[in-house]
A = this chain, B = another copy of it.
Amino acid sequence: MDFDQADAVNQAIRLLSLRHRARIAELLAPLGLHPGQEALLLELARTGPMIQAQLSEALGVERPSVTLMARKLETAGHIRRSPAPDDQRATVVELTDGGRALTDQVKQLWCTLAQETLTGLTAQTVTELPGLLKTLAGNVDTRRPRHRRTPSETRAPEPHPEHRP
């Protein structure tokens, strides 16, 4: 692959990351939230009370990051942390009533943002987009081992599917 093509892709992903996050920050600021925190709240709303380690896995961030974010969200009164009954090490995290209400507002922003983001795309592109992005993310995922082979990556034998229908 030649550099210009690679650069176009990598730069576009970088720019999208920056802009998307910046827009999230803008939308979240009135609620007193910072980018990343909304993901934690939404995950709790989606799955219910859970252990920080599970949150770390679900959010795709490391455990120390969860520790700090959770502490701040707790201080703000949006979540509650209590020791897990069956495991003395674990602390279970859950939304407070206020946190749930706040999350409802986040959900609306979430829709606004997506609507904004998808402006001008065809319906087909919109429906295919999530799968496409997940494929890209999966292709560069470093959490689970990527290919068990040595770094001579001439061509990966079993890539991710294009989209799953």
Contacts and interface: CB of A to CB of B under 8 A. Distances in A.
Nearest to A6: B114
A93 B160 CA distance: 41
Stoichiometry, copies per complex:
2
B19 A17 contact: no
A32 to B, nearest CB: 19
B119 A160 contact: yes
B12 A133 contact: yes
A64 to B, nearest CB: 15
The interface centre, meaning the residue of A16, A22, A134, A159 with most chain B CB atoms within 10 A of its CB, is A16
Q: Bin the interface of chain A by size.
A: 35 or more
B13 A117 contact: yes
Contacts of A133: 9, 12-13, 15-16
A117 B12 contact: no
A10 to B, nearest CB: 6
B125 A132 contact: yes
A8 B130 contact: yes
Given A12-B130, A16-B137, A120-B135, 12 more contacts: A3-B110, A5-B114, A6-B115, A7-B110, A10-B117, A12-B129, A13-B17, A14-B39, A16-B133, A19-B142, A121-B132, A125-B132
